[in-house]
Amino acid sequence: MDYGYEKKLLVGLVEGYRKSKKDTGENRTNRRTKLKPEKLYNKYHSNDGDYEKISAINDTVQKLEDKGFIVSEGESFGMDLTRIYLVDDKVNEIEEYLAKQYGYVSKDTKLQKLETLIKEYEDCSSICHEECSKLKTILESRKLPKSIEKNIDMLNDLFRVLSFVEHNQKLMYIREVSMLVYGDSKYFENNTLESLCALLQKYNTVPISGQTFSDGEYIFSDEILKKYYVYKEPQKISIRGKALIRMCGKDIDISVFDEGIEFTVSELSKIECVQLLVPIFMTIENRTSYLRYKKENTVTFYLGGYANRDQRDFIKKIYEDNPGVTYLHFGDIDAGGFWIHHHLCQVTGVPFGMFHMSFQELKNSEYRKCLHPLTEGDITRMQELAVMPEYRDVIKYMLEHRVKLEQEIISLKLMERVFGNRSKFYENH
């Protein structure tokens, strides 16, 4: 039976050699590149080890010794191996063998790819040039960081879009850029957009609102793209409830629209005043909850996550025009939900309270089946929140019970309490 020991053994030895000082020419000793058989099978020396697997390792070692790739040492008495050593002079031949047999990509091949990438892009644009200068140092040292070693092809894709964006002089949407660069409308968003935005922010001297936030997400990545005339699809503002919006000298009563209204952010400059006719203004994180939640005394606003620049400016406008109103935020009871609330308060300057985002919801038996366990990532993201007074109690409960809750079930149950099991949704559809 083939357990894949040949590939594991040769790759382990070759990569051990390539990571050593022998490969970079810095070695001052003659230390041999070795591997213990336990690395291939952890019970190799155990009394309860699988005989078939142990025999397979021994046969593999013998086969590779016959090829001159390795040498081995065994116990004084018995057949068990103790050490397996690489024949250094054979390292290139072994890599060729691995490439032919298993499609293995050697370090030298990766370095050649990197060299080709540098030659192709170093004169393409200013940022490309700076980044390629750094890569030259890596190339000369032969010390490939893991991030590059594993993603050279992705690095090439990043340089492709970087060079395009730096030279772009006409208004384009993200998916148009993706088609022109990759021939795939979604590849840019799914693979290189975040890395590109991080790189562009790194080299821009003009401050960009929304630098990396506490949870590690780029809040306003679209802003840096706009400097290069690249835009996301037009952002829409969604609002519902009893309110008057004055535009071009005319008052628009949005309450006549049962499902509210949506308009593109390009219309924001035309708004002169927003008058709320009810005492509560509420931002809602998720669209399903926004569609579900309707109260006569509340104007609701679809946030969709972290507030972007246009949402921020519109909310600030509402706050300026309606100082006596209560401002609330309704979101998921998880790390992301609280960071979204924190960010919303920070960027707007509005003291948003939290709506049904307490430990009481987590304790509610009505939601018990919908609770999710915390991940290690959740716990890490909560550490900074735990010391903020507004989140302290709920975060403490979440950490003690290792639970979180999405808001969609809360909005559903809240509306069922108001309208019964037949909500306005069914009446209107």
126-174 pLDDT, tens digit each: 999 999 998 898 888 887 777 776 778 888 999 999 999 999 988 889 9
- Residue 350, pLDDT above cutoff 70: yes
Please state the rounded mean pLDDT for residues 185-203.
89
Residue 316: the pLDDT is 96
Does position 211 have pLDDT exceeding 60, yes or no? no
φ/ψ of 278, rounded to 5, equals -135, 165
Phi, then psi, of 62 in degrees rounded to 5: -60, -40
Alpha carbons 259 and 262: distance in angstroms, whole number: 9
Identify the three-state secondary structure at position 330.
Answer: strand
Reference 82, options 101, 57, 52; nearest CA is: 57
Q: Say how far apart CA 265 and CA 267 lie, in whole Å.
A: 5
Residue 331: name the closest of 378, 272, 284 by CA. 284
Instruction: Say what the pLDDT of residue 80 is.
Output: 86
- Rounded CA separation 369/232 (Å): 37
Provide the pLDDT confidence category of residue 105 given band limits of 50, 70 and 90.
confident
Q: Which of 14-23, 167-176, 388-397 is the least confident region?
A: 14-23
Q: How far apart are CA 426 and CA 429, in angstroms?
A: 5
All domains of the chain in start order, with CATH:
5-102 (1.10.10), 107-231 (no CATH), 279-427 (3.40.1360.10)
Q: pLDDT by residue (tens digit) across 271-293?
A: 999 999 999 999 999 999 999 99
pLDDT of residue 108: 80
Q: How does the average pLDDT of the chain come out, rounded?
A: 87
What pLDDT, in 10s, does the model give residues 320-329? 999 999 999 9
Structure tokens at 389: 């007074």
Kindly state the percentage of the chain with pLDDT values over 90: 52
Maximum alpha-carbon separation in the chain: 98
Q: What is the pTM of this model?
A: 0.59
pLDDT in tens, 72-104: 998 877 778 999 999 988 888 988 888 888 888
pLDDT at residue 114 above 80?
A: yes
User: What is the CB-side half-sphere exposure of residue 155 using CA atoms within 13 A?
Assistant: 22
